[in-house]
Amino acid sequence: MAAVVLTAAGLIFEAERATNPAFSTFGDAVYFAITTLTTGGFGDLVPTTEIGRLIVAGEMLAAVTFIPYEVTQLLSLIHISEPTRQEAMSYAVFC
């Protein structure tokens, strides 16, 4: 997810810095990318160029695609590492 945030921040910074004074530093762009992904979107930074808006739309689409995929992969790893009830019972000793 860090790759999505940093890539989007770099692209939005390059697209907006010449025409939008709100994006004066790369840190502003990172802040904007994070608040966009967390759906906070406070409105203090807004892209004004067409390419900037397209970049933000792409960031949102990437987020709704990658986040569920990554969570699914993480949960599948957790599930695989947990022994099933039947496997756990095979190790149990009953007296």
From residue 17, alpha-carbon distances to 32, 49, 75 in Å are 13, 10, 40
- Report residue 16: phi and psi, to 5°: -105, -25
* Calpha distance 56→24 (Å, rounded): 17
Give the sign of the dihedral formed by CA 44, CA 47, CA 53, CA 57.
negative
Could you report the per-residue pLDDT of 47-77, keeping only the tens digit for each?
999 999 999 999 999 888 888 888 888 888 7
pTM, entire model? 0.71
Tokens of 64: 């709704």
Taking residues 76-81, report their average pLDDT: 68
pLDDT band at 41 (very low <50, low <70, confident <90, very high): confident
Query: Are the C-beta atoms of residues 60 and 74 closer than 8 Å to each other?
Result: no
Local confidence band at 35 (pLDDT 50, 70, 90 cut-offs): very high
**What per-residue confidence (pLDDT) applies to 89?**
62
- In this predicted structure, the answer to whether residue 82 has a pLDDT above a threshold of 60 is no
Q: Which residue has the higher pLDDT, 31 or 73?
A: 31
